[in-house]
Amino acid sequence: MQITAALLAAVPLGTAWRAGWARLGSAQFSSPQAGGGRHFVSSRCGNRKSEVMAGKPKLYYFDGRGKMESIRWLLAAAGVEFEEEFLETREQYEKLLQSGSLLFQQVPLVEIDGMKMVQTRAILNYIAAKYNLYGKDLKERALIDMYVGGTEDLMGFILMFPFLSAEDKEKQRVFIVQKATSRYFPVYEKVLKDHGQDFLVGNSFSWADVHLLEAILMVEEKKSDVLSSFPQLQAFKRRISSIPTIKKFLEPGSQRKPVPDDKYVETVRKVLRMYYDIKAN
């Protein structure tokens, strides 16, 4: 998923910085698998057990949500512990660039199973497939991709929000709620009502459920009662939030990142300044 032109225009930065933000927005991750051997952990994503290679995935990004947050959500939902390295210094970023780890010179980067992965969708696809959150066949994967594509579009409207002026934030807040309640939430409400099952696809917990809950909570940060006209989604939110791995991720002190604020905006600017300083030299 790429950052939209609207987001780039909204970021109060120079043209070069906007281009850099586009690079940051094309989230990626890589994770070389450390150590050997295997162990098993019980994952309450349905009644499955997830096979986990020794060594935790490692995520490289700045200290904020951005494009990495959905990756954090999916790993957490699968019951997978992960490490994070926040990019805060020029030396960190130079090291990643010089090592060739940033395939397209952009983050997020995730090290997993001996790979250094980039591009958000590729990373999410891999995690979903690895931990049995991607359906049982091609038809179910197609449905999951469609539903994730919808929530991804909705999240795109929210991604730009922290970079707007106070006046534009209010306009965007109204726009986000309007789109959520008229275009996106009615789709998922109907899906759940029509098939009468607990989950979006195949009556099994999947990436689509994780992504929809993430999107719902993001919209609720803009309007707390946004689900008032969607009883199916209200029940869905309660069910998915009660899954032990999700419940743990939603608790204080988890690796879930807070609502983007002025500090987050400054962090993004700092990373972009470092990136262009390095490229200029």
Cis peptide, bond prior to residue 108, ω within 30 of zero: yes
**What pLDDT, on a 0 to 100 scale, did the predictor assign at position 95?**
86
Residue with tokens 């993004």: 268
Cα 185 to chain center, whole Å?
A: 19
pTM strictly above 0.95: no
State whether residue 59 is helix, strand or coil.
strand
**What pLDDT, on a 0 to 100 scale, did the predictor assign at position 128?**
98
pLDDT in tens, 96-122: 888 888 788 788 899 999 999 999 999
Which DSSP category does 192 fall into? H
- Contact assessment for residue 154 and residue 180, using Cβ atoms and an 8 Å cutoff: yes
Mean pLDDT lowest for which of 11-25, 74-88, 89-103?
A: 11-25
Helix %, strand %, coil % of the chain (to 5): 55, 10, 35
Angle at 82 between CA 76 and CA 83, to 5 degrees: 140
**What pLDDT, on a 0 to 100 scale, did the predictor assign at position 104?**
81
> Token digits for 107?
């983050």
